[in-house]
Structure 1
Protein backbone atom coordinates (compact mmCIF):
# COMPACT_ATOMS: atom_id res chain seq x y z
CA UNK A 1 0.00 0.00 0.00
CA UNK A 2 1.24 3.48 -0.86
CA UNK A 3 0.51 6.64 1.09
CA UNK A 4 0.53 10.17 -0.29
CA UNK A 5 0.62 13.14 2.09
CA UNK A 6 -0.86 16.63 1.59
CA UNK A 7 1.72 19.42 1.69
CA UNK A 8 1.59 23.21 1.32
CA UNK A 9 3.80 24.76 -1.36
CA UNK A 10 5.85 27.58 0.17
CA UNK A 11 8.14 28.39 -2.78
CA UNK A 12 8.81 27.25 -6.34
CA UNK A 13 12.02 27.26 -8.36
CA UNK A 14 11.94 25.78 -11.87
CA UNK A 15 10.24 22.37 -11.60
CA UNK A 16 10.85 21.98 -7.86
CA UNK A 17 8.99 23.29 -4.83
CA UNK A 18 9.61 23.68 -1.15
CA UNK A 19 6.67 22.31 0.79
CA UNK A 20 5.69 22.10 4.44
CA UNK A 21 4.60 18.72 5.77
CA UNK A 22 3.76 18.70 9.47
CA UNK A 23 6.11 21.58 10.22
CA UNK A 24 8.97 20.06 8.22
CA UNK A 25 10.22 21.65 5.00
CA UNK A 26 11.04 19.39 2.04
CA UNK A 27 11.97 19.88 -1.59
CA UNK A 28 9.77 18.02 -4.09
CA UNK A 29 9.40 17.72 -7.85
CA UNK A 30 6.56 19.41 -9.75
CA UNK A 31 7.12 17.49 -12.99
CA UNK A 32 3.71 15.81 -12.66
CA UNK A 33 1.86 18.99 -11.61
CA UNK A 34 3.44 21.91 -13.49
CA UNK A 35 0.33 24.06 -12.90
CA UNK A 36 0.87 24.06 -9.10
CA UNK A 37 1.47 27.47 -7.51
CA UNK A 38 2.75 28.83 -4.19
CA UNK A 39 -0.03 28.47 -1.62
CA UNK A 40 -1.48 25.34 -3.24
CA UNK A 41 -1.80 22.09 -1.35
CA UNK A 42 -0.43 19.13 -3.29
CA UNK A 43 -0.51 15.41 -2.67
CA UNK A 44 3.10 14.21 -2.30
CA UNK A 45 4.27 10.65 -2.99
CA UNK A 46 7.93 9.58 -3.22
CA UNK A 47 9.11 13.16 -3.63
CA UNK A 48 6.66 14.12 -6.39
CA UNK A 49 3.54 16.28 -6.27
CA UNK A 50 1.01 13.95 -7.90
CA UNK A 51 -2.16 16.04 -7.56
CA UNK A 52 -3.34 19.49 -6.50
CA UNK A 53 -5.84 19.49 -3.63
CA UNK A 54 -8.29 22.13 -2.53
CA UNK A 55 -7.55 23.57 0.90
CA UNK A 56 -10.53 21.93 2.63
CA UNK A 57 -9.70 18.48 1.29
CA UNK A 58 -6.05 18.86 2.31
CA UNK A 59 -6.89 19.98 5.85
CA UNK A 60 -9.41 17.15 6.32
CA UNK A 61 -6.83 14.61 5.19
CA UNK A 62 -4.15 16.07 7.48
CA UNK A 63 -6.55 15.90 10.44
CA UNK A 64 -7.34 12.24 9.72
CA UNK A 65 -3.62 11.44 9.50
CA UNK A 66 -3.04 13.22 12.85
CA UNK A 67 -5.81 11.16 14.47
CA UNK A 68 -4.29 7.95 13.12
CA UNK A 69 -0.84 8.92 14.40
CA UNK A 70 -2.24 9.71 17.86
CA UNK A 71 -3.96 6.32 17.94
CA UNK A 72 -0.70 4.56 17.10
CA UNK A 73 1.13 6.43 19.88
CA UNK A 74 -1.40 5.38 22.55
Structure 2
Protein backbone atom coordinates (compact mmCIF):
# COMPACT_ATOMS: atom_id res chain seq x y z
CA UNK A 1 0.00 0.00 0.00
CA UNK A 2 1.17 3.54 -0.70
CA UNK A 3 -0.14 6.79 0.76
CA UNK A 4 0.83 10.44 0.73
CA UNK A 5 2.05 12.26 3.82
CA UNK A 6 -1.10 14.37 3.74
CA UNK A 7 -3.33 11.30 3.55
CA UNK A 8 -1.34 9.67 6.35
CA UNK A 9 -1.89 12.75 8.49
CA UNK A 10 -5.65 12.66 7.86
CA UNK A 11 -6.17 8.87 8.04
CA UNK A 12 -3.40 7.68 10.37
CA UNK A 13 -5.74 5.49 12.44
CA UNK A 14 -6.91 3.55 9.39
CA UNK A 15 -3.38 3.26 8.01
CA UNK A 16 -2.04 1.99 11.34
CA UNK A 17 -4.90 -0.51 11.47
CA UNK A 18 -3.82 -1.77 8.03
CA UNK A 19 -0.28 -2.24 9.37
CA UNK A 20 -1.68 -4.13 12.34
CA UNK A 21 -3.39 -6.47 9.85
CA UNK A 22 -0.01 -7.17 8.25
CA UNK A 23 0.21 -4.61 5.44
CA UNK A 24 3.32 -2.56 4.73
CA UNK A 25 2.57 1.07 3.91
CA UNK A 26 4.95 3.40 2.07
CA UNK A 27 4.43 7.09 2.80
CA UNK A 28 5.39 9.54 0.05
CA UNK A 29 5.91 13.28 -0.01
CA UNK A 30 5.93 15.04 -3.38
CA UNK A 31 6.12 11.63 -5.03
CA UNK A 32 9.23 10.55 -3.09
CA UNK A 33 9.09 7.72 -0.55
CA UNK A 34 9.99 9.15 2.87
CA UNK A 35 8.81 6.50 5.34
CA UNK A 36 7.55 2.97 5.63
CA UNK A 37 5.04 1.72 8.20
CA UNK A 38 5.55 -1.99 8.78
CA UNK A 39 3.76 -4.50 11.01
CA UNK A 40 5.45 -5.34 14.29
CA UNK A 41 6.30 -8.96 14.96
CA UNK A 42 7.00 -10.65 18.28
CA UNK A 43 10.72 -10.55 17.47
CA UNK A 44 10.59 -6.75 17.03
CA UNK A 45 9.84 -6.12 20.71
CA UNK A 46 13.00 -6.09 22.83
CA UNK A 47 13.07 -8.73 25.60
CA UNK A 48 14.05 -6.07 28.14
CA UNK A 49 12.50 -2.78 29.27
CA UNK A 50 13.56 0.25 27.25
CA UNK A 51 12.42 2.85 29.76
CA UNK A 52 13.96 3.81 33.12
CA UNK A 53 12.87 1.71 36.04
CA UNK A 54 13.66 1.57 39.71
CA UNK A 55 15.25 4.15 41.95
CA UNK A 56 17.71 6.63 40.51
CA UNK A 57 21.03 6.67 42.32
CA UNK A 58 22.34 10.23 42.58
CA UNK A 59 25.93 10.94 43.62
CA UNK A 60 26.53 12.47 47.03
CA UNK A 61 27.60 16.06 46.39
CA UNK A 62 28.19 16.84 50.04
CA UNK A 63 25.40 19.44 50.11
CA UNK A 64 23.42 20.10 53.28
CA UNK A 65 19.98 18.57 53.69
CA UNK A 66 17.43 21.38 53.49
CA UNK A 67 13.80 21.42 54.53
CA UNK A 68 11.10 22.41 52.05
CA UNK A 69 10.76 25.75 53.84
CA UNK A 70 14.52 26.45 53.55
CA UNK A 71 14.40 25.66 49.85
CA UNK A 72 11.37 27.92 49.34
CA UNK A 73 13.08 30.74 51.22
CA UNK A 74 16.22 30.36 49.08
CA UNK A 75 14.18 30.44 45.86
CA UNK A 76 11.97 33.43 46.74
CA UNK A 77 12.45 36.20 44.23
CA UNK A 78 14.31 34.02 41.72
CA UNK A 79 12.87 33.99 38.23
CA UNK A 80 10.54 36.92 38.84
Q: TM-score category by the smaller chain?
A: under 0.3
Taking structure 2 as the reference length, the TM-score comes to 0.24
- RCO (CA 8 Å, sep 6+): is it higher in 1 or 2? 1
Structure with more strand by fraction:
1
Q: Which has the larger radius of gyration?
A: 2
Structure with more helix by fraction:
2
Taking structure 1 as the reference length, the TM-score comes to 0.25
